[in-house]
Structure 1
């Protein structure tokens, strides 16, 4: 299995080491959170998202917009925290001066002090007792719209060869670069879902048909494919695709 860079799905970082048992079953004992601060980073990001100042696609785009050097060197949750910090500052929810003040306090007093014990909670604050209930609601992206899908099951398609974001040069898209220009087959139609290419730039949800497309490993990886009979299934929006006949 090849390693895919998660910013745009770039290919070429070498194989992913997958531990296996003697019967070739995957031996996965990875904890949900490797370090305690990973769980805190996840919780803080969700809690901040509950403020309603941005959507999921905007938060993803902010991670993509980190300086390349930082993006390549930060761990997964370091990216989350860096992007969240930029969002909080850009949305005027936290100032750089406030951040510097907290950092100074942490350096002087350690991580276990309560910097906000005298602060009045914002009415949007996500309380611990509400977390499980709120997460249970989820955030479905499917929308009911009067649009018929262009493509049919088993139809041959080709992913576009360029970033399909028509509004923003270098803007957010969920089309991985490793699949651009590759041929696949429509495996299923999944209804109309929020279109991230627009939603990430606050241009509205613009729901569009979403398909699951099957690609052969040999089509994507060529001689690097472990097994030419393997298939990769990707959920792709309609603007990402063209009919194989055209």
Structure 2
């Protein structure tokens, strides 16, 4: 039986901000179709790792591969064209554009009919947004903005989504919608996910494997069910 193929491989990488090193010879593999959670205290390098994979931060050493291709020196745009999608912390939608215009910003098409078809397809996964197409992004609730940011990413049909702290300030019913939508994408479009999150219920609902990150290195991996153990939670996120 053939096992899953390696989608992302980060090997012995170091990076940081200015002269401050955050990631310290970090290595991590993500398999095709895997939903991976990354857990650790604040300041350990979780968001830095996501930004490194997407290309917002350069690798000072080591390498990043995607589907066997060395992308260490590729631009953000080039990585996106290969199939990497990113939803940053804080959402970063365009507040003065309508919901529909925000969605169109996530497309790589210049044919009006194709763009409309792609928007219609993504709205099938995000029915709440279909009622808000003419509304500016800046007037949406925090939960609606998070849905929009995710839809804008997924409309380009990425192979993997790098999702950074999506639950902050979001009402529970919308969190449920996000979980259901991502699981549906996984089933129907073979989506992979790398999730940085402190909401343990959200990680439990989505992740098949959880890795722990401490002082800029991956220090272990666990079954997400272990997050139901208060001692494990205290050790890695300081919540109990």
**Structure that is richer in strand per residue:** 2
TM-score category (smaller protein): under 0.3
TM-score, structure 2 length as denominator? 0.25
Question: TM-score, normalising length from structure 1?
Answer: 0.25
Larger radius of gyration: 1
Of Structure 1 and Structure 2, the greater helix share is in 2
Which one has more relative contact order, counting CA pairs under 8 Å at least 6 apart? 2
